[in-house]
Amino acid sequence: MNDTTVTLVGNVATAVEYRDTAAGGVARFRFAVTARRWDREQGTWSDGPTSFYTVSAWRSLGANLAASVSVGEPLVVHGRLKVREDERDGQRKTFVDVAALAVGHDLSRGTAAFRRAARPDPELRPDGGPRPLVGTAQGEPPGAAPGVDRDPWEVAGEEATTLLVTAS
């Protein structure tokens, strides 16, 4: 499969929203990346334009991210880049999303204490029922993020539960 993977270094711009879905939990937040350049003439750092990305993380990565990350924290996000267009209010808009594969705090800007999460039984769904042996209801292979080509909130459907998580 041909994917475009990116690694972004920036700051959490919005609170992490977490939804538990039939296909697995998903966390979503906005991520701000601002280029900084050294201005030789003035001898100072100057900020360039800020780019915003919507980051989604599925299953255990999403749950761990929702429990660990707060607005303003510096992160390194590695994932699949997806650029999509949508029509809203009669205008075509472009959205840049990242389906996260790995997320961590940027330790060049602070410290963190890692705590290993308890591993759930891989044979059971969150509701206690057995996991299917084949892909999800959408026909995706096991382990794939459901609906990678769509907004995760659209994939979540109406049965999803929203939980706003703020780490302390």
pLDDT in single tens digits along all 168 residues of the chain: 689 999 999 999 999 999 998 888 999 999 999 999 999 999 999 999 999 999 999 999 999 999 999 999 999 999 999 999 999 889 999 999 999 999 999 999 999 999 888 766 666 555 556 655 544 444 444 444 555 556 666 655 444 444 454 444
Q: What pLDDT does 12 receive?
A: 98
β partners of residue 136: none
d(CA 100, CA 58): 8
Q: What pLDDT does 2 receive?
A: 84
Q: What pLDDT does 71 receive?
A: 97
d(CA 127, CA 66): 19
| C-alpha pair distances (Å), 132 with each of 14, 57, 124, 128 | 34, 21, 9, 12
Residue 43 CB-density burial (10 A; 0-12 exposed, 13-18 middle, 19+ buried): exposed
**b (16+ CB within 10 A) / e for 131-152:** eeeeebeeeeeeebbbbbeebb
- Where are the alpha helices (H) located in the chain, listed in sequence order? 59-68, 152-156
Q: What pLDDT does 117 receive?
A: 80
d(CA 152, CA 51): 20
Q: What pLDDT does 101 receive?
A: 98
Residue 37 CB-density burial (10 A; 0-12 exposed, 13-18 middle, 19+ buried): exposed
Q: What pLDDT does 66 receive?
A: 95
Amino acid (1-letter code) at residue 152: P
Residue (of 91, 101, 82) closest to 154 by Cα position: 82
Q: What pLDDT does 22 receive?
A: 86
Residue (of 108, 111, 89, 18) closest to 56 by Cα position: 18
Find out whether 148 and 80 touch, Cβ atoms under 8 Å.
yes
Q: What pLDDT does 162 receive?
A: 45
